[in-house]
């Protein structure tokens, strides 16, 4: 039995002793439902697949024909490749809720950092090729398992497949927010095409300085800060700040992740100021403490160690000084722990 309150769906059972709540129509629906009702979703699929003819999905702009089987920097084929799909409980609490975030890990990556924690999947392409129909079935399976969203991890290079799969899944009952979980290395022009399809944007903002982005990516990405800023501004224009239901579960909005790195490599101070000055002070920001020396990071002296408690506390203090008011709950708990560590 569903309880309805304030237009949001509560999945807990109503007690027979509770006063009957006058039913209101359930109003929330994912963005793509509106686009489909307007008859525009199929056209958007065609627009995305046309980009494969001369792939410029991301700032690498390889210009190769993926529809004809060519592969660009990301090494992704035309057919989508997936490593795994499952409910995930390690994401931000508004995504995880009670039943987990419905995570789909895509193989390959258009950025490729030297400290990648998922390098077998992102760099080496572990995973299997599936059809758009099978991808749609994965989305429906995650919904069936009770997940609160479809969390698309590293989605940029397979956007045509994702949009087509979302269309198929919607036609078969999908009714969850799509969460676009990206490295941030995006073209704003392409993000614009996602307007009305994605409900939750979850970009990283990894580097504020082009020289650092160039140094710590296998194929230099000097333009990373500039491209990521443009993309995040467009994401915020589309979905605004995070909106949640009565259970605290995210329905839509922008959530930004920033990983604190050793020796101030990530430019955290600049990052929090940029968010405060260019987005909203209420932007959901997760300042992450879990940097690990992975993959090739041990070859780079500056990032060949974990961060210190002092570095994490400094990062969180910058965020507070910048006036950010919607910091991730677990990051605030980490802040307290690290602060006690150095007191
Ligand atoms: S998605 Fe891949 S092939 Fe397309 S432009 Fe980016 S790196 Fe190149």
Please write the tens of the pLDDT for every residue from 274-295: 999 999 999 999 999 999 999 9
Q: How far apart are CA 288 and CA 251, in angstroms?
A: 22
Pocket lining: 74 vs ligand 1, CB cutoff 6 Å = yes
**pLDDT attached to residue 218:** 74
Q: Is the pLDDT of residue 6 over 60?
A: no
| Range of weakest confidence among 65-69, 213-217, 230-234, 276-280 | 213-217
Q: How far apart are CA 221 and CA 87, in angstroms?
A: 32
Distance, CA of 47 to chain centre: 22
CB 281 within 8 A of CB 272: no
Nearest CA to ligand 1 atom 6: 58
Mean pLDDT of 142-166: 98
CA of 78 to the centre of ligand 1 (A): 11
Pocket lining: 58 vs ligand 1, CB cutoff 6 Å = yes
CB 64 within 8 A of CB 51: no
Where does the pLDDT of residue 250 fall: very low under 50, low under 70, confident under 90, or very high at 90 and above? Answer: very high
Mean pLDDT of 77-94: 97
CA of 55 to the centre of ligand 1 (A): 6
**pLDDT attached to residue 23:** 53
The residue ranking higher by pLDDT, 285 or 4, is: 285
DSSP state for residue 91 in the 8-state scheme? S
Pocket lining: 61 vs ligand 1, CB cutoff 6 Å = yes
By C-alpha distance, which of 126, 130, 119, 117 is closest to 158?
130
Mean pLDDT of 300-328: 98
Mean pLDDT of 7-21: 39
CA of 225 to the centre of ligand 1 (A): 18
206: three-class secondary structure by DSSP: coil
Sign of the CA dihedral with 122 first, then 125, 126, and 127 last: positive
CA of 58 to the centre of ligand 1 (A): 6
Q: Is the pLDDT of residue 8 over 50?
A: no
CB 287 within 8 A of CB 258: yes
Structure tokens at 253: 């909005």
Torsion over CA of 270, 276, 281 and 282, rounded to 10 degrees?
A: -60
**pLDDT attached to residue 217:** 86
- Provide the total of helices (H) and of strands (E) in the chain, helices listed first: 12, 11
**pLDDT attached to residue 18:** 44
**pLDDT attached to residue 13:** 34
Buried b (16+ CB within 10 A) or exposed e, 171-191: eeebebbbbbbbbbbbbbebb
Pocket test for ligand 1, best of 49, 69, 112, 157 (most atoms within 8 A of CB): 157
Mean pLDDT of 22-35: 80
CA of 4 to the centre of ligand 1 (A): 44
Pocket lining: 76 vs ligand 1, CB cutoff 6 Å = yes
Q: Where are the alpha helices (DSSP H) in the chain?
A: 31-37, 41-51, 93-96, 119-122, 132-144, 159-171, 188-192, 210-215, 224-239, 268-278, 309-321, 329-342
Domains (ranges, CATH) in the chain? 45-259 (3.20.20.70)
CA of 175 to the centre of ligand 1 (A): 29
Q: How far apart are CA 17 and CA 10, in angstroms?
A: 17
Nearest ligand 1 atom, CA 63: 5
Phi-psi region at 277: left, alpha or beta (left = phi > 0; alpha = psi -120 to 50):
alpha
DSSP state for residue 186 in the 8-state scheme? -
CB 174 within 8 A of CB 139: yes
Structure tokens at 78: 């035309």
**pLDDT attached to residue 298:** 95
Nearest CA to ligand 1 atom 3: 72
257: three-class secondary structure by DSSP: strand
Which residue in this structure is represented by tokens 């390690």? Answer: 90
Nearest CA to ligand 1 atom 1: 157
CB 284 within 8 A of CB 253: yes
Q: Is the pLDDT of residue 255 over 80?
A: yes
Nearest ligand 1 atom, CA 156: 1
End-to-end, the C-alpha distance of the chain in Å comes to 51
Its pTM stands at 0.92
């Amino acid at each position: 039995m569903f309880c309805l309150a304030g237009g949001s769906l509560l999945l807990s059972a109503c007690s027979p002793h509770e006063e009957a709540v006058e039913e209101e129509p359930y109003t929330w629906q994912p963005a793509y439902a509106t686009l489909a009702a307007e008859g525009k979703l199929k056209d958007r699929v065609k627009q995305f697949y046309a980009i494969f003819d001369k792939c410029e999905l991301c700032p690498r702009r390889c210009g190769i024909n993926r529809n004809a089987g060519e592969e660009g920097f990301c090494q992704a084929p035309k057919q989508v490749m997936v490593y795994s799909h499952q409910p995930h409980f390690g994401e931000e609490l508004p995504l995880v809720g009670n039943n987990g975030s419905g995570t789909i890990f895509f193989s390959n990556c258009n950025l490729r950092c030297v400290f990648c924690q998922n390098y077998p999947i992102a760099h080496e392409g572990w995973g299997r090729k599936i059809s758009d129909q099978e991808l749609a079935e994965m989305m429906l399976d995650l919904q069936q398992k009770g997940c609160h969203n479809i969390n698309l991890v590293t989605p940029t290079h397979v956007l045509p497949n994702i949009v087509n799969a979302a269309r198929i899944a919607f036609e078969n009952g999908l009714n969850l927010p799509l969460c676009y979980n990206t490295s941030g290395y995006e073209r704003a022009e392409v993000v614009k095409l996602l307007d009305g399809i994605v409900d939750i944007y979850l970009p990283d903002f990894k580097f504020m300085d082009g020289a650092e982005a160039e140094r710590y990516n296998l194929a230099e990405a000097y333009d990373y800060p500039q491209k990521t800023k443009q993309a995040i501004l467009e994401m915020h224009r589309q979905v605004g700040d995070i909106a949640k239901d009565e259970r605290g579960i995210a329905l839509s909005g922008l959530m930004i992740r920033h990983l604190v790195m050793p020796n101030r490599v990530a430019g955290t101070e600049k990052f929090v100021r940029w968010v405060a000055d260019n987005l909203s002070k209420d932007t959901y920001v997760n300042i992450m403490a879990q940097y690990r020396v992975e993959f090739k990071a041990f070859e780079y002296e500056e990032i060949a160690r974990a961060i210190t408690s002092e570095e994490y506390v400094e990062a969180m203090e910058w965020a507070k000084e910048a006036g950010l008011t919607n910091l991730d709950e677990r990051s605030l708990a980490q802040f307290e722990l690290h602060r006690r560590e150095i007191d």
